[in-house]
Amino acid sequence: MFKRFRRVRINKTIRELAEETRLDIKDFIYPLFIKEGRGERKEVVSMPGVFQMSIDEALKECEELLGLGINKIVLFGIPETKDSIGSDALSDEGIIAKAIRAIKKHFGQNMLVITDLCFCEYTDHGHCGILDLELGSVDNDATLEITARQALVHANAGVDMIAPSGMMDGAVETIREALDGAGFVNLPIMSYSTKFASAYYGPFRDVAESAPSFGDRKSYQMNPANRREALAESLEDEAQGADILMIKPALAYLDIVREIRDATLLPICVYNVSGEYSMLKFAANAGIIDYDKVLMETMVSFKRAGADMIISYHAKDVAKLLKGGNS
């Protein structure tokens, strides 16, 4: 006798009972892009609904997020002045250090503040660290030294979690040693452990103003064709002391998410990146998809593949849909 799978799909109540993967707004982290100034709130043309904002506007945004049940953010900085080593990122009066202090002062433990730890937004050349001009790329070990300094700036400002994204070899170990040596033994690291050199990042470089002025990042970000190397990268960061592993981008790399999920007991995060976000938004604006349904199906795919948490520009829309019972 054949199996009647439809028995557990026959009506909505039974389908809900048998549902294997569920979304919860507690799973989501919302990115914020902070710039100097006051009263600044500039929408990014390539990312409808995403803004560059000054610290005072970011505080208003946090109020809205908390009202939607979103209590986790990741901060990216857009400094007023950039230079060859990203000095703003190394200053206690830099844009991100000031943003951390302001958000923690206003919201305390009600808002978990994560910081993206990299230099591409802060350097005048747009690469993720100190350049080796002979190599024509980033000097890995020289960048590790300033990465440790950047981590301590964020820690001293009161950040709740640090997320190194530069894909420098040895970054997690370097940051862990620096934090522990300064007494921040309980400050967790969420490593961008498997980050691909992806074309899906295009709109992000508009909002973060971080496009490289020459070349690309293929010498330090991963080849999208490499599955085994992707696994090795994440397992190496686990060995160096990462507390959470991240795969970025998400949508085109669900096989990698599943493989890493099967290889580690650590929590896994995926970054639903700018290109993935903009594709859905512009497709919705063109009337060619049902945005709400495609959005939720996409989010479920991340969880089904093995992600525990999701960084997404869609988080506010997801929160509204979950509250409305449209999951």
Per-residue pLDDT reduced to its tens digit, 132-177: 777 777 889 989 999 999 999 999 999 999 999 988 899 999 999 9
pLDDT of 26 over the 60 cut? yes
Active-site amino acid positions: 195, 248
Residues 156 and 118 sit within 8 Å (Cβ to Cβ): no
pLDDT for residue 205 is more than 70: no
The predicted-structure confidence for 60-104, as pLDDT tens digits, reads as follows 999 999 999 999 999 999 988 888 888 898 999 999 999 999 999
- pLDDT band for position 327 (cuts 50, 70, 90): very low
**pLDDT, mean of residues 188-210:** 84
Q: Which has the minimum average pLDDT: 137-151, 173-187, 275-289? A: 137-151
Band (pLDDT 50/70/90 cuts) for residue 18 is very high
* pLDDT tier for residue 209 given thresholds of 50, 70 and 90: low
Q: Is the pLDDT of residue 210 over 60?
A: no
Averaged pLDDT, 305-322: 98
Per the prediction, the chain carries an average pLDDT of: 93
pLDDT at 213 exceeding the cut of 70? no
How far the first Cα of the chain sits from its last, in Å, is 34
Would you say the C-alpha torsion 271, 232, 237, 147 has a positive or negative sign? negative
Joined tokens for residue 207:
């909002």
Contacts of 154 (CB under 8 A, 6+ apart): 96, 97, 100, 115, 117, 162
Say how far apart CA 244 and CA 163 lie, in whole Å: 9
Q: Predicted confidence band at 108 (pLDDT cuts at 50, 70, 90)?
A: very high
Mean pLDDT value across residues 184-198: 96
- Taken in order of first residue, the domains within the chain and their CATH numbers are 21-323 (3.20.20.70)
Share of residues in the chain with pLDDT > 70 (%): 94
